[in-house]
Amino acid sequence: MIWKITSLIFHRPKQVLSSISNPFSRQRILLSTFPANSPDLKTLCSNGQLKEALLEMGIQGLEVEFQGYDSVLTECISQTAIREGQRVHAHIIKTCYEPPVYLRTRLIVLYNKCRCLGDARRVLDEMPERNVVSWTAMISGYSQRGYASEALHLFVEMLMSGTAPNEFTLATVLTSCTSSSGFQLGRQIHSLVIKTNFESHIFVGSSLLDMYAKAGKICEARGVFDGLPERDVVSCTAIISGYAQLGLDEEALDLFRRLQREGMRSNYVTYASVLTALSGLAALDHGRQVHSHVLRAKLPFYVVLQNSLIDMYSKCGSLTHSRRIFDSMPERTVISWNAMLVGYSKHGLGREAVELFKLMKEENKVKPDSVTFLAVLSGCSHGGMEDRGLEIFYEMVNQKDGFEPEIEHYGGVVDLFGRAGRVEEAFEFIKKMPFEPTAAIWGSLLGACRVHQNVHIGEFVAHRLLEIEPENAGNYVILSNLYASAGRWDDVRMVRELMKEKAVIKEPGRSWIELDQTLHTFHASDRSHPRKEEVFAKVRELSIKIKEAGYVPELSCVLYDVDDEQKEKILQGHSEKLALAFGLICTPGGTPVRIIKNLRICVDCHNFAKFLSRVYGREVSLRDKNRFHHIVGGTCSCGDYW
């Protein structure tokens, strides 16, 4: 009997199949009698001929078996071909009585890759039964697109359904545990990892240590790393980038060097992470070394790596190199543009930032995002182009397919007004904006009040600011500067008292300078440097010399209750002056000096550097926490506003 049917189908397939009404029997017969037609589809797909495969499928009507669908879907996934995928999906619904779990899972993967998470989720929800792979595929879809809470919810749902996670599930779900709310679950998953003996699995371990690093728990991350029975590039890169992202740049570099000695084979992600650490240190010589190493290694083109090179050169003070890399790129992402724009902005080059932004829109390949606007706004602010900045802000607000401005953008506008001396307008703008002002926004306005000597608004702002972040020493210093500039010495004293009362913890100031590939670091009143006597003597010498040109120490920068002579001594011990003096000692006259400081530079050190640049004919490039100061012939590129 079966043989007869088979023979009939073989000669008149369409008629026979359509005469069988039960879809289940139909499919059974189809599958048991037809020689697999998947090899043809498989061949076409492995040649990347998706269109031809679809055509074939259409001609053959019902006669595609599961293996064939599998080949076609796999190719759709690799080509991110959503339209073809949708047609295959429709075909499957039409012809398959009960698509097996693995076919449905392929559909989930396809929709996830094509950013159609809703469609993927629908496939999952319609599955009569799910296995660990289908759960994991959907969790991964959510994780990769940043839907952390959806990923975590689904993971919990999976556990409740009684499906046990495997190493793939754990590695995936841990990437969604980096938020503060997710971190609690992350710890619980860690115990699950231990219980199920996946602790030494390399992917699970990498993911776990990355989670700890991103949560700022670097010691725990290191613990996981050290406990791994074997290491690969990914786990090594994860721990290096963990240090770098927390600003522990030296540690990141030390570890990188050690792992390299121990045989780690770096890839482009490793180099990108190392460049992040070097950007933090502004270690230009080392950055150049990594760059030439990367060139010698003849790696294929990686946008990510180029982006981090742009950022490294700009943070090391060499914008020309950044732009050279930017211009040479065959392809750019929004991050490439943002990195370049942030570079111009940090160097105070508003005009260049606006020009580049214009170019970006003209090219119309990459859509500006929220960071792009932030960078351009800040560029306008630092470049003294407040009207252009306001225009761009309103352009952003009125964009049709754009996004709502975030609080940071409002902060940018406050900064624009403040910098331009329009302190009242800045204040009114804050009152009207749809957000509760943050410390950053008040801080920006307080800075404006200091520069433009608006004691009235300044006092109000300072009051707010000291409520929100009483522990930030910088705020007290600016308020003290403000009172001093108005000659209100009683209030200067009051600020000092207030600061003592609140037990402010000051992040220790630290400056450094790179000479012959070595970083020389100085702390405030540093007595540890081997050439300290020479350095202190040099600061005193410089001080005396520039006083003749009109330099007056800004004593209101010192918030200790000591006499003026003592205050001047404290000022002379500021780390940036030590680094500057050391630079003058160690380099021939006329060469530029490049200094980096971890905090915002104080008014007195800024004055000091300006006078020095004029009297000694030295160009000073100083990078502080916020921006670059290019000081030439007595004037600074920041226009005395920072």
Partner DNA sequence: ATTTGAATAC
Amino acid at residue number 458: G
The C-alpha atoms of residue 460 and residue 628 are separated, in whole angstroms, by 29
CB of 234 to DNA, least distance (A): 4
CB of 382 to DNA, least distance (A): 6
The C-alpha atoms of residue 638 and residue 265 are separated, in whole angstroms, by 43
Which of 77, 152, 90 shows the shortest CA–CA distance to 116? 77
Which is closer to DNA, CB of 237 or CB of 543? 237
Which is closer to DNA, CB of 121 or CB of 627? 627
The C-alpha atoms of residue 281 and residue 597 are separated, in whole angstroms, by 10
Which is closer to DNA, CB of 27 or CB of 241? 241
Which is closer to DNA, CB of 270 or CB of 607? 270
CB of 505 to DNA, least distance (A): 17
CA atoms within 13 A of residue 245's CA, in its CB half-sphere: 19
Which is closer to DNA, CB of 206 or CB of 607? 206
CB of 280 to DNA, least distance (A): 8
CB of 330 to DNA, least distance (A): 15
The C-alpha atoms of residue 104 and residue 106 are separated, in whole angstroms, by 5
Which is closer to DNA, CB of 168 or CB of 608? 168
CB of 511 to DNA, least distance (A): 19
Residue 495 and residue 480 in contact, taking contact as beta carbons nearer than 8 Å: yes
CB of 132 to DNA, least distance (A): 6
Which is closer to DNA, CB of 241 or CB of 454? 241
What is the residue-wise DSSP string for 433-462? SSSPPPHHHHHHHHHHHHHTT-HHHHHHHH
CB of 37 to DNA, least distance (A): 22
Q: What is the DSSP letter of 179?
A: S
Handedness of CA 340, 342, 348, 353 (dihedral sign): positive
Which of 255, 177, 254, 243 shows the shortest CA–CA distance to 216? 243
CB of 311 to DNA, least distance (A): 4
Helices (H) and strands (E) in the chain, counts: 35, 6
CB of 323 to DNA, least distance (A): 15
Q: Give phi and psi for 594, each to the nearest 5.
A: -115, 115
Residue 500 CA to its chain's centroid (Å): 36
The C-alpha atoms of residue 177 and residue 213 are separated, in whole angstroms, by 11
Which is closer to DNA, CB of 53 or CB of 375? 375
The C-alpha atoms of residue 215 and residue 220 are separated, in whole angstroms, by 10
The C-alpha atoms of residue 483 and residue 573 are separated, in whole angstroms, by 23
The C-alpha atoms of residue 441 and residue 409 are separated, in whole angstroms, by 10
Tokens, residue 26: 């139909």
The C-alpha atoms of residue 154 and residue 162 are separated, in whole angstroms, by 13
Which is closer to DNA, CB of 269 or CB of 420? 269
What is the residue-wise DSSP string for 324-393? HHHHH-SS--HHHHHHHHHHHHHTT-HHHHHHHHHHHHHH-SS---HHHHHHHHHHHHHTT-HHHHHHHH
Which is closer to DNA, CB of 13 or CB of 470? 470
What is the residue-wise DSSP string for 261-301? HTT----HHHHHHHHHHHHHHT-HHHHHHHHHHHHHTTPPP
CB of 439 to DNA, least distance (A): 6
Which is closer to DNA, CB of 338 or CB of 621? 338
Q: What is the DSSP letter of 114?
A: T
CB of 17 to DNA, least distance (A): 31
Strands (E), 410-532: 510-515, 518-523
CB of 205 to DNA, least distance (A): 8
Say if residue 505 is exposed, middle or buried (CB neighbours under 10 Å; 0-12, 13-18, 19+). Answer: exposed
The C-alpha atoms of residue 587 and residue 594 are separated, in whole angstroms, by 11
Which is closer to DNA, CB of 317 or CB of 443? 443
Which is closer to DNA, CB of 440 or CB of 473? 440
Residue 139 and residue 151 in contact, taking contact as beta carbons nearer than 8 Å: yes
